Amino acid sequence: MENPIIVALDLPSPQKALKIAEELAPVVGAFKVGKQLFISGGSDVLRKLRATGAKVFLDLKLHDIPNTVAKAVMAATDLGVQMTTVHASGGSAMLAAAGNAAHEQAAMLRSEEPLVLAVTVLTSMDDGDLAELGIEGGTQEQVLRLAKLATGAGLKGLVCSPQEIEMLRAELGDNVQLVTPGIRPASSRPDDQKRTLTPAEAIAAGANWLVIGRPITGAADPKAAAIGILHSIDPELVPESERPEPIPEVVDCAECGKSLKLDATEQATGRYHCPYCDKDVVH
């Protein structure tokens, strides 16, 4: 399995984003650059992220007339990104134009063709939010409708909530890549995501890529957090050079001294949450 972690670099400055990226590059699969970071850092951020050796995901969620979106996708292809996003609600003509633009521009440049991902329903939205917009039938029905529209237009990747992974796999098969935000380790707060799963649950359901932001970038030790998530998915995904010596099953908390029993992931990563002092601890 390829390293499935995409780190969302939703950070206030390019300098901070690049510093974290350099630290995380050996243990993650890709970095996601959204509107905030792209506007503040421009194409230079993409170039420096590519230099880390990780894939780059330019997440601008394009939604415009077909010709405008096609030109934007061509520009993204010129920048050497591996993934980019468009809104499925832009319609079949726009979706087809985006996919064709990526293919034709990559062929002309003799470069890697970026995966154009159609965004179905944002993970911050639920049935009530859709009802406010006049969309009937609920989240899953709308996700499936938009997913079929996108794949029918020739796109080979979708962005969807973890809760829709199994449904989309059953309906669309294995020929579409599923990129999944709304991923939260069991110990994390849900933040503004409403439809979430843990990393291991999302991979088991059929996701190809997991978009994870604050649980990694906001951690006291981002690299240790990423390694812990990788280990929870499959211990073999953790690079050998990054595998710490396992610690005992029972330890005394390094913060408060109380005795704790650790699970297998906590033992392997040396990272745990103490229920007594309510702190995240690196052993």
Mind telling me the catalytic residues? 61
Q: Which residues contact 194 (CB under 8 A, 6 or more apart)?
A: 123, 124, 125, 126, 182
CB 274 within 8 A of CB 281: yes
Strand partners, 56: 31
CB 236 within 8 A of CB 268: no
> Which of 17, 15, 30 is closest to 85 using CA atoms?
30
Helix, strand, coil distribution of the chain in percent, nearest 5 = 45, 20, 35
Q: Are strands 55-62 and 177-180 parallel, antiparallel or unpaired?
A: unpaired
Per-residue DSSP letters for 133-191?
TT--S-HHHHHHHHHHHHHHTT--EEE--GGGHHHHHHHHTTSSEEEE--B--TTS--T
